[in-house]
Homo-oligomer: A and B are copies of this chain.
Amino acid sequence: MITALAGGVGAARLLRGMIEVLPPGDITAIVNTGDDTVLHGLHISPDLDTVMYTLADAINPETGWGLAGETWRVMESLQRLGGVTWFNLGDQDLATHCYRTQRLHEGATLGEVTRELADAWGVGIAMLPVTDDPLRTRIQPVDGDEISFQEYFVRLRHDVAVAGVRFEGASAARPGPGVLEAVDGGDLVVVCPSNPVVSIDPLLAVPGVFEHLRRRRDRVVGVSPIIAGSALKGPADRLLREMGFESSVAGVAKWYASWMGTLVVDEADAGMAEAVEHEGVRCIVAPTVMSSVKLSAELSRIVHEDVS
């Protein structure tokens, strides 16, 4: 049994590889919900949807988010009305948000709705929102008022200096059903190459998750989202620096060291292995750029076999 901690695009790609080498029923992904937002009254869960669409082979391969062959009728009309269009929602994607929102209004939990959607999309792994309770990543820019994660990430294209990050609702949030059991029960706990600061940290902010992970430290293996000092996508490099860490695999190792026993780094960072181990984290060097399902599967196999 493998348990994965997952954010969006990077996590989705690793999980896509994982289902090539393991039975999907053996995989549980605990997925970040700190990115969730309500827009137009619709409950949007970007990380859950990116994982779901990717595993269903329905993702737009160009962007890494949204659906392939998507149409934009609603957004085009909303633009004509002068509505809020900085968060682009395709027509098919909107159906997912309509479904989720309606079911939540009917009293279903986010975990229940996620299972229903995953079934409808034919996703074979167990996808667990880290919590069914509200959890909202909030970004404090160096200049100006605190903003939501999506305002930071999408509207401002993460092009602002960040002074701090907090997870609203975290202290009152309860781990979703099965979450702590999955941390405890995984033969491995794989930390996907997601943003450490805003994709993985929200999971740890839910009471209980960090403690349970720490007890499994020697079974926790991460894949570095930083390659040769940079993030392939998104602001992980910049955010690590803004949080006072080095934007390198050593910085990632230091960020995770208290609860992660092993870090897989890209071949480009082979020379940094010693710096990783200096943080008390075992280092594995492997190709980590997942530009195809084949490469994702290969990385997944290495993570699985070299640590097991």
The interface of chain A, by Cβ under 8 A from chain B, is: 38-43, 71, 73-78, 80-84, 91-92, 94-99, 101-102, 104-105, 116-117, 120
Contacts and interface: CB of A to CB of B under 8 A. Distances in A.
B71 A102 contact: no
B42 A40 contact: yes
Contacts of A42: 40-42, 98, 101
Nearest to A92: B77
Given A42-B40, A80-B120, A116-B82, A74 B95 contact: yes
A83 B71 contact: no
A82 B120 contact: yes
Contacts of A81: 95-96, 99, 117, 120
Given A73-B92, A81-B95, A91-B91, 7 more contacts: A41-B104, A42-B98, A42-B101, A78-B98, A80-B120, A82-B116, A83-B102
Contacts of A77: 91-92, 94-96
Most chain B CB within a 10 A radius of its CB, from A84, A95, A102: A95
A99 B117 CA distance: 25
B74 A94 contact: yes
B38 A105 contact: yes
Most chain B CB within a 10 A radius of its CB, from A71, A73, A92, A104: A73
Most chain B CB within a 10 A radius of its CB, from A42, A77, A96: A77
| Chain A interface, DSSP helix/strand/loop, else mixed | helix
B71 A95 contact: no
A98 B43 CA distance: 12
Contacts of A98: 40-42, 74, 78, 83
A103 B74 CA distance: 16
Contacts of A71: 71, 73
Which 8 A-B residue pairings sit nearest by Cβ, starting from the closest?
Answer: A77-B95, A41-B101, A73-B91, A40-B98, A41-B41, A78-B95, A83-B99, A77-B92
A92 B74 contact: yes
B101 A40 contact: yes
A139 to B, nearest CB: 20
A173 B160 CA distance: 45
Contacts of A40: 41-42, 97-99, 101-102
A37 to B, nearest CB: 11
Contacts of A96: 77, 81
Contacts of A84: 102
A300 B111 CA distance: 55
A148 to B, nearest CB: 13
A116 B84 CA distance: 13
Nearest to A104: B41
A95 B98 CA distance: 13
Contacts of A82: 99, 116, 120
Nearest to A78: B95
